[in-house]
Amino acid sequence: MNMYVSNLGFQVNDEELKTLFNKFGEVTSAKVVMDRETGRSRGFGFVEMADTAAEEAMKSLDGTQVDGRAISVSKARPKTDNRSGGGGSFSRDKGNRW
């Protein structure tokens, strides 16, 4: 199961995240999401582990204090591609009306 972990301290790294969840079973992967421009943590990450261990980890860790912050742990939602082309060329300057 893939879990979403939010409200992480900005100094938490992948290894620390993995260690936190290892107490409940084998962690397949643990990744803190980093900002592309600054290289700093964005304050959330993802942890993947077996379903039964993940359920126990979510119950036990959700709301606990990690580096002075109460983390939230929940089941991750599947990634969706919401990148629409956006834009369009509608402009009031050209006499178009709503």
Whether 59 is covered by a domain: the verdict is: yes
Neighbours of 38 (CB within 10 A): 8
Number of domains in the chain: 1
Whether 20 is covered by a domain: the verdict is: yes
Domain containing residue 53: 2-75
Which pTM value belongs to this model? 0.78
Closest by Cα among 6, 27, 5 to 15: 27
Please tell me the predicted confidence (pLDDT) of residue 52. Answer: 95
Structure tokens at 31: 């990744």
Please tell me the predicted confidence (pLDDT) of residue 41. Answer: 94
**pLDDT average, residue stretch 13-34:** 97
More confident residue, 81 or 14: 14
Whether 84 is covered by a domain: the verdict is: no
Whether 34 is covered by a domain: the verdict is: yes
Whether 97 is covered by a domain: the verdict is: no
pLDDT tens-place string over residues 35-93: 999 999 999 999 999 999 999 999 999 999 998 999 999 999 987 776 655 555 544 55
SS3 96: coil
CATH number at residue 58: 3.30.70.330
Whether 94 is covered by a domain: the verdict is: no
Q: Do β-strands 65-66 and 41-49 pair in parallel, antiparallel, or remain unpaired?
A: unpaired
SS3 content of the chain, % helix, strand, coil (to 5): 25, 30, 45
Structure tokens at 17: 């995240």
Find all residues with CB under 8 Å of 8, minimum gap 6, and list them.
17, 32, 41, 43, 44, 45, 66, 67, 69, 71
